[in-house]
Chain A
Amino acid sequence: MQLAPTIFFWIMAILSIGSALMVVVSKNPVRSALFLVVTFLAVAVFYVTLSAQFLAAVQIMVYAGAIMVLFLFVIMLLNLSAPEALKERGTIQRPIALGLGGLFITALIFSQALLQMPTRPAPAEQVVNLGTVQSIGLSLYNPNLPWLFPFEITSILLLIAVVGAIVLAKRKLD
């Protein structure tokens, strides 16, 4: 393995995990949101290293640009910058969740299943143009491939979501 990509990967990995942890650990929801943005950006970088160039751009546009903005709007709307004051009731929730999570991560890191892929990865020359706009477009609009239909349906899905959101959020008509 080459050294540079590996070191780069490790740096980005630590960054993404660290910001994800901060999302969970922060008491302030705004801080959580911002850390989440950092995480999304790190993931976008990963997409680039995985030859998913288009997707990286979309990720930043949609997730970091639209979804997180929405989150921040709602946080502001509900005026919840103040840290959570209430003490958690004496439940066993936290310890169990943490314990299980730790167990899960440990298993993931050390499991044989994930350490061995049965096949070799595709060589770099072949996938250079894997995630370009042209490639994605050819797959998406190809009538022989199954992606055309979901593409059309997604538009209806978005319509429904818009309608739903408006209905939920509007005030009652007096």
Chain B
Amino acid sequence: MVPTHYYLVLAGILFTIGVIGVLVKRNPIVIFMCVELMLNAANLTFVALGRHFGQTNGQMYVIFALAVAAAEVSVGLGIIVMMFRRRETIDIDEVHLLKN
């Protein structure tokens, strides 16, 4: 099989791309999508290592992470919808009440 560290490096790269996306994009929905990307990268790491050690533990973590991610997405999108209703814009830079 493919050496495990290949998967780890791949997951790391995906994770980094997700992070960059979170920092650079200004549309909150896209930011959220990049967060999902990060979550996936983490899940990939878990599965790869679970396979490496021959245990099901890795996959169990992923199942629960998946469930939580689903719940989180629904609530998060609800927040974004509310944000849009208030301001008529979803440029994340407009939400700067904490400035200075």
Out of B6, B48, B73, name the residue touching A67 (CB < 8 Å).
Answer: B73
Contact A74 B77 (CB under 8 A): yes
A66 & B52 in contact (Cβ 8 Å cutoff): no
CA distance A36 to B34 in the complex (A): 8
Is B47's CB under 8 angstroms from A50's CB?
A: yes
Contact of A24 among B21, B58, B77, B91 (CB under 8 A): B21
Which residue of A24, A124, A160 contacts B17 across the interface (Cβ within 8 Å)? A24
Query: When chains A and B are docked, how far (Å) is the Cα of A13 from the Cα of B93?
Result: 34
Is A29's CB under 8 angstroms from B27's CB? yes
Nearest chain B residue, comparing its CB with the CB of A67: B73
Whether A122 contacts B52 by the Cβ 8 Å rule is: yes
Interface residue tally on B, bucketed by range:
35 or more
Bound-complex Cα distance A89 to B92 (A): 12
* Per-residue interface assignment for chain A, residues 123 to 138, with 1 indicating a CB less than 8 Å from any chain B CB and 0 otherwise: 0101100110001100
Which residues of B from 31 to 66 have beta carbons under 8 Å from A?
32-34, 36-37, 40, 43-44, 47-48, 50-54, 56-60, 62-64, 66
The chain A residue sitting closest to B72, CB to CB, is: A161
Interface size on A, residues (CB 8 A): 81
A150 to chain B: which residues have CB within 8 Å? 64
Asked if residues A122 and B54 are in contact (CB atoms below 8 Å), the reply is yes
User: Which residue of A is nearest B68, CB measured?
Assistant: A157
Nearest opposing residue in chain B for A12, CB measure: B10
CB of A136 within 8 A of CB of B59, answer yes
Q: Which residues of B contact A94 (CB under 8 A)?
A: 23-24
Shortest Cβ-Cβ A-B pairs, 6 listed? A122-B54, A161-B71, A168-B78, A97-B23, A24-B21, A108-B12
